[in-house]
Amino acid sequence: MATTIRNPGSWSVDQIGAMGRHVGAYTASVGSDETAELPQVQRLGFEDLHLALRRGMEDFAACRSDVAFLCLLYPVIGIVMAWVAFHNALLPLVFPMMAGFALVGPVAAVGLYEMSRRRERGEPASFADAFRVAASPSFGAIFALGLMLFATFIAWMILADQIHQLTLGPDAPASFGIFLTQVFTTAEGWTMMVVGLGVGFLFAAAVLATSVISFPMLLDRKVGLPVAVVTSIRVTRENPGVIGAWGAIVAGALLAGSIPAFLGLIVVMPVLGHATWHLYRRAVVWPDRA
Q: How many CA within 13 A on the CB side of residue 173? A: 20
Nearest to 207 by CA among 279, 151, 130, 134: 151
pLDDT surpasses 70 at 34 = no
Q: How confident is the model at residue 102 (pLDDT cuts 50, 70, 90)?
A: confident
Distance CA 42, CA 280 (A): 10
Region 244-268 average pLDDT:
81
Residue 31 confidence (pLDDT): 52
pLDDT in tens, 118-133: 888 888 777 666 677 7
Nearest to 125 by CA among 192, 70, 206: 70
| Nearest 10 degrees: Cα torsion 151, 156, 159, 163 | -170
| Nearest 10 degrees: Cα torsion 273, 274, 277, 282 | -120
Q: Per this entry, what is the length of the chain?
A: 290
Q: How many CA within 13 A on the CB side of residue 253? A: 19
> Cα 186 to chain center, whole Å?
34
| 40, β-bridge pairs | 285
Specify the amino acid at residue 69. Answer: F
**CA 121-127-132 angle, 5° bins:** 65
Distance CA 192, CA 198 (A): 10
Mean pLDDT rounded to a whole number for the chain = 80
Distance CA 56, CA 58 (A): 5
* Dihedrals phi, psi of 85, to nearest 5 degrees: -65, -45
Nearest to 133 by CA among 104, 102, 109: 109
Q: Are 253 and 272 in contact (CB under 8 A)?
A: yes
Percent of the chain with pLDDT over 90: 41
Q: Are 96 and 153 in contact (CB under 8 A)?
A: no
Report domain extents, the chain: 47-285
User: Highest mean pLDDT range out of 68-82, 170-184, 231-245, 250-264?
Assistant: 231-245
Residue 216 confidence (pLDDT): 93
